[in-house]
């Protein structure tokens, strides 16, 4: 691994995992994400963005589900695998362009991660589960996710994704969009989350502006889930 990847600790292997294979997979994922040219600061340390996001995602999945298995943790680590190579800016503006970018990004990430895991010795059972989680299979369709019908691992993965978003992108996105549009984004985010994820989101240590926006989003999201 490069020096950037070494700044992010490898998580302890879950129960039942082959420790050497698990560590090899995580180190390979981290080494790839360490090439992200986009940077962000975490606790005073500047890291490649996707490397930092992968570490945060792993932490949230374990916090939401202390019994998370090997596939869940590998999917968490690789949830936005090499995402900078498939930028949003390469697609048309607007909702249709965004949805096309998101769909293609999920498929590409899932395929690349599956190839990586196969190369370090994982079989189809784990590889297919990781591919499905990274590809968000079973998440729901469009803006009307069936939260109650999702498999628990899928909901945990989605909750963790939302929490990483809230803890790493809240302020810059709010500054970019403005308060009213940010409330819409937050309402859609909360509508995708399960009960455990929402509880964690509402318990985050946020500044006064963020608390006001989240409160407005909670009120707006009350109707969003009934459409």
pLDDT tens readout for residues 149-168 = 678 899 999 999 999 988 88
Residue 142 lies in a domain: no
Do 171 and 62 fall into the same domain?
no
Average pLDDT, rounded, for the chain: 87
Do 125 and 183 fall into the same domain?
no
DSSP structural state of residue 89: G
Residue 191 belongs to what domain range?
149-227
pLDDT for res 102 = 84
Q: What is the mean pLDDT of residues 213-222?
A: 84
pLDDT for res 2 = 60
Do 62 and 14 fall into the same domain?
yes
Do 25 and 126 fall into the same domain?
yes
Q: CA 131, 63, 27: angle at the middle one, nearest 5?
A: 50
Do 129 and 49 fall into the same domain?
yes
Do 156 and 110 fall into the same domain?
no
pLDDT tens readout for residues 32-82 = 999 999 998 888 889 999 999 999 999 999 999 999 999 999 999 999 999
Q: Give Cα separations from 69 to 3, 199, 206 (angstroms).
A: 28, 22, 30
Half-sphere exposure in the Cβ direction for 129 (13 Å, CA) = 17
Q: What is the mean pLDDT of residues 177-187?
A: 91
Do 128 and 156 fall into the same domain?
no
Do 87 and 159 fall into the same domain?
no
Do 8 and 54 fall into the same domain?
yes
């Amino acid at each position: 691994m490069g020096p950037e990847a070494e700044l992010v600790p490898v998580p302890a292997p879950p129960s039942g995992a082959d420790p050497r294979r698990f560590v090899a997979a995580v180190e390979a994922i981290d080494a790839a994400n360490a090439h992200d040219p986009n940077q962000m600061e975490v606790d005073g340390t500047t890291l490649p963005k996707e490397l930092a996001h992968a570490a945060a995602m792993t932490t949230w999945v374990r916090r939401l589900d202390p019994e998370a298995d090997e596939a869940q943790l590998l999917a968490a680590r690789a949830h936005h695998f090499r995402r900078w190579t498939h930028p949003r800016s390469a697609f048309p503006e607007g909702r249709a362009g965004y949805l096309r970018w998101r769909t293609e990004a999920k498929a590409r990430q899932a395929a690349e991660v599956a190839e990586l895991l196969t190369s370090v010795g994982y079989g189809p059972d784990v590889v297919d589960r990781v591919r499905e989680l990274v590809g968000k299979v079973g998440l729901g369709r469009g803006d009307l996710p069936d939260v109650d019908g999702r498999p628990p691992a899928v909901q945990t993965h989605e909750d963790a994704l939302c929490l990483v978003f809230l803890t790493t992108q809240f302020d810059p996105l709010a500054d970019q969009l403005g308060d009213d549009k940010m409330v819409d984004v937050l309402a859609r985010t909360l509508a995708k989350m399960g009960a455990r994820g929402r509880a964690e989101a509402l318990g985050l240590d946020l500044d006064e502006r963020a608390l006001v926006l989240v409160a407005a989003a909670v009120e707006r999201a009350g109707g969003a889930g009934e459409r």
